A and B are shown apart, each in its own frame.
Chain A
Amino acid sequence: MSTTPLASLGAGFSNEAFGSQAVFRAVLQALSHPGRTVAVEHDARVPAMGHAASAAVLLALLDSDCTLWLSPRLANSDVGAWLRFHTGCTLAADAAQARVVWVAQGDALPALNRLALGTDIYPDQSATCVVDVSRAAATTADASNAWHLSGPGIQEVAALQVDGLPDDFEAQWAANHGVFPRGVDLLLATADHIVGLPRTTRATRGATALQEA
């Protein structure tokens, strides 16, 4: 097994405690207020492949107890070595075995119902997916093709413009919502922002969701 020379790996947070705490708070904000774009501020020397915000989030959250699955573009880069060196995480060959899934922009999101969904007794033992997207921005509810998010943490409706989700995402997400308390949670990431989509959030596409019945 070839190993990346250590000298070529970028540094992690300059202050591990404060750096990871700040990123953790960003993730907390994102998952507590689904649909809100939250900036991820950090000083880690992230790898070239994959969004910087995602790399920082995983650097903060992963540890030696976590299994991580990387999508092909990421798996073929030094991202795995960087995260394994800094966090001690294990790489999983099969996305279904991983507790954290990172999908690069342009790679296909694995079918959500194939990932770890947890059990009824331990629903938290499920996968968290970080998905790199080209755009995830707050928008107005009547914008075309906007996603309408509702549920805990959202006052009525949050509208989001997202480029980079698969075409069948609405159906997949509805199915994920249906298996609650099991299911997966998502973090959409741009280069420097994240948006949280916990499994409690309902997401529908287009203006039709707001029409009165």
Chain B
Amino acid sequence: MYVAVKGGEAAILSSYQLLARQRRGDAAQPELSVAQIRQQLKLAVDRVMTEGSVYDPELAALAIKQAAGDLVEAIFLLRAYRATLPRLGTTCPLDTSRMVLDRRISATFKDLPGGQVLGPTYDYTQRLLDFKLLVEGTVTPPAAAAAVVPPGPTPRVVDLLNQEGLIETRPVPPGDPVPADLTREPLRFPANRATRLQNLARGDEGFLLAMAYSTQRGYSHSHPFVGEVRLGTVAVEIEPEELGFAIDIGDIEITECEMVNQFAGSKSQPPQFTRGYGLAFGHSERKAMAMSLVDRALRADELGEPVESPAQMQEFVLGHSDSLEASGFVQHLKLPHYVDFQSELELVRKMRAAAAHPTTPAEEDAA
């Protein structure tokens, strides 16, 4: 039972003021602009968009400013805002094979049509703190060079190089049902793959990273390879009924990961390579890769593999992946639990008294 905090209104109003001061920090420092956050904390903005489930870099940047950099709090703000937005329709599925690529790499095939494009990445940096950045104006990136991007459609590596048919393909069957939407219906188990992927896309990056890591350390039997990681912009299209054809309503930047995993085969299927899939807004490779590893692990049931590790267990992974739910329940412990605790106190006292003065069974029966 939660006791209402009486007389706390004044305290709460004070806490707003203290929070505002904490958020602003030293007033002698120039106020951070939302535009600056959007541009210079891009990767934070990308994470907030992905887990907040809203592709709006400005709103995500605003949420980060309001949350003073606490990304889980910013994601909460963005999700709350999302809940107020009217739903106008559903887009056509994104066609990532028509992505304008900024980065595209594969660990499975060296020579790709179109080549490997390293793009912007921390992968090859030395991870040494750059103290020049302590002072503004000392590091000026060179002007953008003309993009060296393969022209035309860019089919996925695993589709292109599957000559022997050893990598599974998943053509969309006719009459394939529209995926359920977790933001409209509760999660029920067993969840199908579309629902699992939606849950993972919205899931906390840290949690998914740890789950993915566990699959590599033996808590699963996958032997993963990055089939492809690609970063770039794709067109978002809708097909209004009055027109009868799709129209382009804008572009978004996304990161897509196809992970290729060995599958030893089952009674009904020959050994082959199976795929795990990850997708995130903006430049979010760690998230997309972690998602693809966990996606594959959660397919254990479908592929007839024994479900032995946490990453393979739907209820464990999908039930704990949402940062809002997790944070909410963990932090709710701060609410008054005075009556609960009183009853626990009484119980502990009784147990200690019983231990100090043990009664014989005859005395207990008489009591």
Query: Residues of A at under 8 Å CB distance from B?
Result: 1, 3, 6, 63-65, 88
Contacts and interface: CB of A to CB of B under 8 A. Distances in A.
Contact of B241 (A3, A63, A64, A65): A3
A199 to B, nearest CB: 23
A95 B191 CA distance: 27
A88 B88 CA distance: 8
- Looking at chain A's contact residues, the main secondary structure is loop
Interface string B69-98: 000000000000000000111000000000
Contacts of B184: 65
B242 A88 contact: no
11 contacts: A1-B241, A3-B241, A3-B242, A6-B242, A63-B87, A64-B87, A64-B89, A65-B184, A88-B87, A88-B88, A88-B89
Interface of B: 87-89, 184, 241-242
A63 B89 CA distance: 11
B309 to A, nearest CB: 31
B134 to A, nearest CB: 51
Given A64-B89, A65-B184, 4 more contacts: A1-B241, A3-B242, A88-B87, A88-B89
A3 B241 CA distance: 8
A59 B87 CA distance: 15
Nearest to B181: A65
A166 B89 CA distance: 38
A6 B242 CA distance: 8
Contacts of A1: 241
A65 B185 CA distance: 10
A172 B47 CA distance: 55
Contacts of A3: 241-242
Contacts of B241: 1, 3
B248 to A, nearest CB: 21
A51 B243 CA distance: 31
A66 to B, nearest CB: 11
Nearest to B243: A3
A88 B242 CA distance: 14
A63 B86 CA distance: 10
A3 B239 CA distance: 14
Nearest to B184: A65
The 10 closest A-B pairs by CB, nearest first: A64-B87, A3-B242, A3-B241, A65-B184, A6-B242, A88-B87, A88-B89, A88-B88, A63-B87, A1-B241
B83 to A, nearest CB: 14
A6 B87 CA distance: 19
B238 to A, nearest CB: 13
A78 to B, nearest CB: 14
A31 B313 CA distance: 44
Nearest to B90: A64
Nearest to A65: B184
A106 to B, nearest CB: 29
A63 B242 CA distance: 19
Contacts of B89: 64, 88
B87 to A, nearest CB: 5
A6 B184 CA distance: 28
Contacts of A64: 87, 89
A197 to B, nearest CB: 28
A6 B88 CA distance: 16
Contacts of A88: 87-89
Contacts of A6: 242
A63 B184 CA distance: 12
A103 to B, nearest CB: 25
A65 B186 CA distance: 13
Nearest to A4: B242
A138 to B, nearest CB: 38
B91 to A, nearest CB: 14
Contacts of B242: 3, 6
A100 to B, nearest CB: 16
A64 B90 CA distance: 10
Contacts of B88: 88
Contacts of A63: 87
B289 to A, nearest CB: 33
A202 B88 CA distance: 40
A2 to B, nearest CB: 11
A1 B243 CA distance: 11
B247 to A, nearest CB: 16
A61 to B, nearest CB: 16
A3 B240 CA distance: 11
Contacts of A65: 184
